[in-house]
Amino acid sequence: MLTKRIIPCLDIKDGRTVKGVNFIDIRDAGDPVELASLYAQQGADELVFLDISATDEQRKTFATLVKDIARHINIPFTVGGGISSVADVGPLLEAGADKVSVNSAAVRNPQLIDELSKAFGAQCIVLAIDARKIDNSWTVHTHGGKNPTDKKLFTWAKEGQERGAGEILFTSMDHDGTKNGFALDPLHKLHDLLNIPVIASGGAGIMGHFIDAFILGKADAALAASIFHFGEIKIPDLKLFLQQNGINTRIAK
């Protein structure tokens, strides 16, 4: 089995790490630089930084904060929020990002994925998809989950792959922050549909949920936020638990 990745996510608003439930009821979760440094030390495989209000506020991601975080970590670093053109990406990569995540702007202009992949390579482009089940269909939402669209999860993920995305970050809005487990059925379907890695996001509450994501959902990586931010699960403990249950993970030396 390939090594499965554990990825803490820093949702950033006004320069602070925040976390909500079902994309609402946002509360403060700490200093992003301190958290990023801690997670790198604990053996996280990657880090995701999402400036969750950049699109709504029609501004670019805070490159200064990206640079501050990058100086304190030695693991791959994905940055998203407000990226809508090729010109937006260069400053973030120069600030220390390894990959960029696109969401709302790609839904609005799918050609953006082609342009970014051509300019920086597919390995640099993560297509983030926020979806909620409506009338038995997984409907894609934009602007931090506020706006439903006419796009459906599976067709949009497939199109994203064909346009040059190197990875899919799927967040179930129904599961986000609930700590009741990941959305396993759509994860498994995405795995069967695609030939690029799928990151599971939304719903982690106990260590067993990660096993479910990897075994039942066939996810390549699992992302979580509040359980790490508030110390409910520590990354070294989680990785040891996964190893003991037959899941291949990278253990920090």
**Which residues does the annotation mark as catalytic?**
11, 130
Name 195's Cβ contacts closer than 8 Å, sequence gap at least 6.
161
Nearest by Cα to 199 from 213, 178, 185, 180: 213
Beta bridge partners, 12, equal 17, 51
Q: Is 115 helix (H, G, I), strand (E, B) or coil?
A: helix
Distance between CA atoms of residues 90 and 100, nearest Å: 10
Determine which helix (DSSP H) or strand (DSSP E) holds 188, and give its type and residue range. helix 184-193
Radius of gyration of the chain (CA): 16
Q: Is 250 helix (H, G, I), strand (E, B) or coil?
A: coil
Distance between CA atoms of residues 226 and 102, nearest Å: 22
DSSP 201: E
Name 77's Cβ contacts closer than 8 Å, sequence gap at least 6.
46, 47, 49, 66, 69, 70, 96, 97, 98, 99
CA atoms within 13 A on the CB side of 180: 9
